[in-house]
Structure 1
């Protein structure tokens, strides 16, 4: 029976009441019925979630008051389910039931406009100073659509690179790296980063950086390096000269040994040659001229004696 006392066929159907779903905000599901029995207090109405139809609200009493709430229309023909802090876990099938009539449908993000903006308070950033360079990283988690970010520093000298991946079926996560080469006199300042998601501007933060200590350490390293280089060069040159001298001495001594060895071999060869000549001469002096006697076949030794005292060279009678 309807509120006006007429009987109508019961029909239940719900739809999303939001024009756009924003993750983190409240999403409304409005259930419409043709019988206004919501007002008589005798009918049963309920909201369930998922294939297992987990109870969310029963006759206006939520299972979790921080997450769900229900209101009934004044005309008794409708009821609205409030889903607080909407997130990816809330993308599911919902059932609106009135007594034995019910209607089940699924929240389909591809059929409705939705957005997901990062919570600035939860954005994790990291800043490093190294070799007069500034590296600042930050992450944007579970966003939609993909963000476009820009930055501003004291000298505008740097690059901002982003890498985006699909963190789930509906949302994205982006990792950003800001690299800046700091100039002398600009070792500290402020980084200002803005990110644009659709028509919304996300002010990441104004991060103050101070890399002056890193500048000082690099300057000290340069001073130490500049003082060490001449010492290293002098030491290297000295070592090279000493090495050449040592090599030269070794070659000289080696050459001297070789020369002595050659000379000794030559002397030995000369001595042997002299010994052979003396031996040949002795053998020649022992040669005996033999005269053969044809009668008795004996040999008669011929002795030749030369008396140098009886020979007078250069005198004539």
Structure 2
């Protein structure tokens, strides 16, 4: 039977000196990690404080998307085979994804590769804000057009300027739940990060090729290498540090008419000109809640009068 110590280090029995020294070293390491901000509880707090920091979305003056715009990518939900709510393309990260001060002299930021998920919060923040980036040296401010290649990049600073990428699925590299084509945020920019916007209606797709992409209108986002569209999967749930979220993948879902299903329908949301701290969908949700409350109050008043 192995020796079991029956006394605490204050009782000078056996290797008491070694036990006291070990406790002192443990406390010293704890204080050192606390001063450096390397404790797990500190990293989790820093992660939430930085990744949920509000971001001001861009405002479109002409109603079109432009390179350099900061937008949110939203799937409005629906589904015949699944009851799927609206979701936003968002970063999935934990404390291990943050670069420590010992790794570099720069400000702590997220490092790739990272997962993405469909979060339900419509509040613009570092986690769900993406910048439309040129891949062919098109200058910022130029209009984004249908079938024109572009990249989606996270914001600068804590988000680390990572690029949304995808590639053909393999046995070892695929989405966790659905086993479809995986999405990830990577640091290195290459052809795997190229995407293009496709017009929503298949019957008018060719006629709209080359026309500017309108803000807040349904579109398809296709991966240039694999020709698979960005999709939200309502029947596959991910457990993340921020709660339950939908799994996202690059896969084209077709209905009986060979048209893309609502899993592949996305909106580029920008800020409302009157309130730049909120997206148009968030303002619409607040308006719907206000209308419901007003209707409830009116029904209550009618019942009281009766």
Verify same fold: TM over 0.5.
no
Larger Rg: 1
Greater per-residue strand proportion = 1
Provide the TM-score with structure 1 as the length reference.
0.18
